[in-house]
Amino acid sequence: KAGVTQTPRYLIKTRGQQVTLSCSPISGHRSVSWYQQTPGQGLQFLFEYFSETQRNKGNFPGRFSGRQFSNSRSEMNVSTLELGDSALYLCASSLAGYGNTIYFGEGSWLTVV
Amino acid sequence: AQSVSQHNHHVILSEAASLELGCNYSYGGTVNLFWYVQYPGQHLQLLLKYFSGDPLVKGIKGFEAEFIKSKFSFNLRKPSVQWSDTAEYFCAVNSGGSNYKLTFGKGTLLTVNP
């Protein structure tokens, strides 16, 4: 069974640009969430989607957005990139329902120069 | 808002030593607790989780954790560490009403010397 797959794995962008990251959840998982990991702030929750609807949102500016498609695949977008957006972006998926394990992908490393 | 505190930033042990990593959370309601591990170059993997029942939880690779509600703690333990346990360990919590938003501690880097 394939795990959570994220693309691209590594990318470099320039300040002011925008970026789109993609996530394919484990087959059958309808909940997809995104986290930002940095050395200073650690792992921080960005948002969570279920059945194409955003259910939870973390404390990030509106430049961070996401969406989920009918096949549960998800994308997150960051517009007007800042140097501080350099981070590892992790996608996670789980089955619907209480008590299910959240599985993480390997992440997308974003460097903003 | 809930928060998670991991006491040690970096722990260095020799093989066969015993391990205990501290984790405290702040949230007054029902919580679910997790320990994740991130081996070098790999993705976050679940070590163990606590939802309800026996407060002593056993996970993979010989790890266990004890939930002490009165102390708001969920410490991770292993009786004898191996070099392959070198990794970063994250404690996480979510409140009972939301299964999908994890609040993580800052992580503890464990280095095991052979």
* pLDDT at residue A99 greater than cutoff 80: no
- Report chain A's C-alpha Rg in angstroms: 13
- Distance between B13 CA and the closest CA of chain A, angstroms: 23
DSSP secondary structure letters along chain B: --EEEES-SEEEEETT--EEE-EEEE-SS-EEEEEEEE-TTS--EEEEEE-SS-SEEE-GGG-EEEEEGGGTEEEEEESS--GGG-EEEEEEEEETT-TT--EE---EEEEEE-
Tally A–B CB contacts below 8 A.
Answer: 57
Closest Cα in chain B to A101: B46
**Mean pLDDT, residues B14-29 taken together:** 92
**Mean pLDDT, residues A20-49 taken together:** 94
> What's the mean pLDDT when you consider all of chain A?
94
Contact with chain B for residue A56, Cβ under 8 A? yes
- Distance between A6 CA and the closest CA of chain B, angstroms: 11
Contact with chain B for residue A101, Cβ under 8 A? yes
Residue B94: predicted pLDDT: 84
* pLDDT at residue B9 greater than cutoff 80: yes
